[in-house]
Structure 1
Amino acid sequence: MDEKDLTNKLVVVTGANSGIGLTASAQFAKRGARVIMATRNPQRGEYAKTTVQAQTGSQQLEVMQLDLASFDSIEEFANQLGSEPIDILVNNAGIMAVPYATTVEGFESQMGTNHLGHALLTAKLLPNLLKAPAPRVVTVTSFAHQGGNLSKGDRAELIREANSYAPWPVYWNSKLANLLFARRLDAIAKANGWPLISVAAHPGYANTNLVYVAPSQKNGFGRASGLAVAKLMNNTLAQSAEAGAWPTVMAATDEGLKGGELIGPTGFMQTRGKPGVVKSSKKGNDPQLAERVMTTTEELIGTKVA
């Protein structure tokens, strides 16, 4: 993959303190971009910043606090950026298969963080993006979107209550919502004649800390055995975090993309391999479902995305 020069470009990466976000931030910095590393925990963000600086020598790294489970935090983040043009927004942060919890606004935390938070962030930063000559939004989904079962795209499907909550199916739905959001945003941009393109990316099965979150929430033997299995799978089946970041980097920089594509590993079952355009589930490529999900999303976040 060609290393596109990103000198004088501003890239915003959510969840930049670890995993895919950290590795992608380093790749953007290596190409000369100014990178805003948006993290929920500023201390971890500063540690990640020093890691990227050591790898790249870049002095164009800035850590900013962003909690995607809080609309006020998202608003404050956007306000701090002011009217500065943004060339690339990478909606990467996420949580996976956690026990039932809610965001500050009372939404189930996985859908609230992974999807609604990024939708609101994109809406707030859209004016900044449209000030750039060729802006791009990359939303990170997962091959697990194929397990998503959204069909109506209404509030009842998007926001589960405690009595109907199952960690993994809700995670799958949040990743399907990410993909549908990316494709609907691109369709809106094209309809309005904007220079912006929106692309989705997924890392395949990458060796990151995210896979340890679900078993770490358990107690006793369930916790120990779950963590052991996760470690074994990460060490034997997963590709590196660096390889997992390549689809995101390609989605953000490849000049041959037209918008609306899904970029992922092209190897075995999209779990590993070189990045390229890959197929999604049938639901992930349903424009009517994407429109319904976007409409419901805008109702939930209280603003038009675009």
Structure 2
Amino acid sequence: MLAIIIGLAIGIIVPVQTSVNTRLRGVVGSPFTASFISFSIGTVFLVLLTVIVEGDFTLNEALWTTEPRWIWFGGVLGVIFLTGNILLFPKLGGVQTVIMPIFGQVIMGLLIDHFGWFDSAVNRLSPTRLIGAVLVLLGVVGTVALGDWLAKRRQRGQQETKNLAEVNLTGWRLLGIVTGMMSAMQAAINGHLGSVLDSAIKGALISFVIGTLTLLFVLLLVRPKLQLDRTAPKPWWMFIGGLIGATFIAGNAFIVPLVGTGVAIIIVTIGLLTGSLLIDRFGWFGAARTPITGVQILSLLVMIGGIVLIRL
């Protein structure tokens, strides 16, 4: 039960991080610069949290001797996922940028559990779990896209046509699924890392340090110009994205060993979509207010039914 509560909580704060980092990007001008600032703040936060909670930075010697090398790639996968979303958004728009990675996350999460990849506990993909996963994916589509699609159908009638640009989006959609798979792999790696260190916080810290160094390398390679917009609003909360990201990574590292990667991804996804609906409903962090529809509520209930089947 604790793992479910934590998973829902860290999922709900993910859309907050997206809104915060979007505002930061509007001020500094570069998505890579904004991401680097966010990662750096998150790293400092995790360093302080490690000192307070753990008291030291001692690492298990197994990290250097017996553990596989893939334990160091969690932070890199996180950066790839973040960069992938930056690339996808202008091509696919907000709706598909949410849907495609979630499909990849759910699929990869269940595969990791089924085959026991990344030293995860084996949890075979039974027919019941498969039906539950399908319900979750249907709920994702319904929550994010079904209402918009029905509205467009009413406006356009039966005269919708597909143009060449729409067909050419297939590659970008596949990229979204692949980046979502990498996000699930990151969760599994960080969960294993937290278990080896006997500390989810230390596992998250290592992931964030590697991610920050990766972004620093990207910045040195790309050399984006800092275009500070002095006229843009600069609320204090635009700097908390790193704190939210650090909490999210640490939470994942804690719950994955308890419930498995697949279930953890699905719980977090339900929290993520719930947080997105709340932000749209109340217009938090500068977002435009959008009422919650009956289709969205029904879709969330379908997702909850799916997670119950998976847990059974």
Q: Which has the higher contact order (CA 8 A, sep 6+)?
A: 2
Question: What is the TM-score when the length of structure 2 is the normalising length?
Answer: 0.27
Structure richer in helix, relative to its length: 2
* Higher Cα radius of gyration: 2
Q: Normalised by the size of structure 1, how large is the TM-score? A: 0.28
